[in-house]
Each structure stands twice: as C-alpha cells, then as structure tokens.
Amino acid sequence: MSVGRHARLKGKQPTERTLFNIQIGDVVQYQERDWILETIYRYQQDQFEWIEYLLRDNDDAAWLVVVEDDWLEVSWLTPVPEDQLRLSLPLPNVIDYEGISYLLKERGEAKYSTEGRVNNQKGNCTFYDYQTVQGFKLSFELYGSDEDGELDVNIGRKIKSQDLSILPGDGQSVYANISR
C-alpha cells in the first residue's frame, strides 16, 4: 500500500490540507513518522469548538488536538496506559505524574461527535485539562456518566504546527478492522 504523495487517489483530486480540514485516511507526518487519520472528534462547549484527530501508526495511537480561540494551539498527546495512573472523581487541582506536577487549567462539559468509525458516536463528555508552564499536558475525558463512563487519559505537549506535514489520503480508514 502506498500512502502520502505516492498514494492513488481513486479519481479524487488532491486538495491542500490544513489543521481544520484533515480527512479520514490522510497522513500526518510528525517526528519522522507517518500517522494515518482514523477518527475525527468534534467538540462543542457553548459557542466554542475544537477538534481532536485520532491518528494511528500500526499499534500506536496519538491525538492531534487543534484549538483556535484567540490564537492557534496545537497539541500532540498519547494514551496513558490504564495501570499507570489511577485517580477517582472528582479530580484534584494538581496531579503529579512521572515526577511532573500538572495544574488544572480547565474543566467542563462538551458535546461531541465522531466521524470515521463504522458506528459514529454522539454524546456528552466531561473534560479535565492539566498543563505545566513548559507546555506539558495531561488530559482526562470522561464519556458517559461518572459511574459507568469511559475515562481516556492522554499525555503530551504543545507543538508547533510547522512541525507537521499533512498529505491527502484516499478517504479510507486503514485500521478500520483493528480495535484501538
């Protein structure tokens, strides 16, 4: 299978991709790796919106988070294994993880919708965003209720958008038949 600039586009014309129009199957190049966009999460909190892209490189997953308020903020996050960080709700204002103290920057509730998986989803999400002065981030997202919801924990940092290259793909999921 060829991806990136050598991909066959099956009759589609390539279009310039930006952080706001990446599509399923597109390739995001970061730190000398090619990541395939598998799922797009769109969040809305009142009038504020942001996008999280679930990327895959074989068995590895990463999140590209794009937030534009007064300025553009781009973050690269990877999942924290369930057995490495155990917390109970409500989450504290400071979390120490791997020798770093993360301060609660924002928490709230948002509506979300997904694009890309066979069973696209919609619902409510409670989020907790932690950050350090150096730009390290720790993110908690609870989908469903406090009692039976699914908690996703991710860690990473702010990055420069110039460190990314985005190449149009063929619009198809590469890992659709593989669970996350």
In whole angstroms, what is the distance from residue 141 CA to residue 137 CA?
13
Q: What local confidence, expressed as pLDDT, does residue 69 receive?
A: 85
pTM of structure: 0.87
pLDDT surpassing 90 at residue 82: no
- What is the pLDDT confidence band of residue 10, given thresholds at 50, 70 and 90? low
Query: What is the mean pLDDT of the segment spanning 167-171?
Result: 88
Q: Which residues 6+ apart lie within 8 Å of 8 measured at CB?
A: 2, 170
CB 156 within 8 A of CB 77: yes
In whole angstroms, what is the distance from residue 21 CA to residue 115 CA?
13
Q: What local confidence, expressed as pLDDT, does residue 36 receive?
A: 96
Q: What local confidence, expressed as pLDDT, does residue 109 receive?
A: 96
- What is the pLDDT confidence band of residue 177, given thresholds at 50, 70 and 90? low
* SS3 (DSSP) at 28: strand
88-147 residue pLDDT tens: 888 999 999 999 999 999 999 999 999 986 678 999 999 999 999 999 999 999 998 777
CB 98 within 8 A of CB 132: no
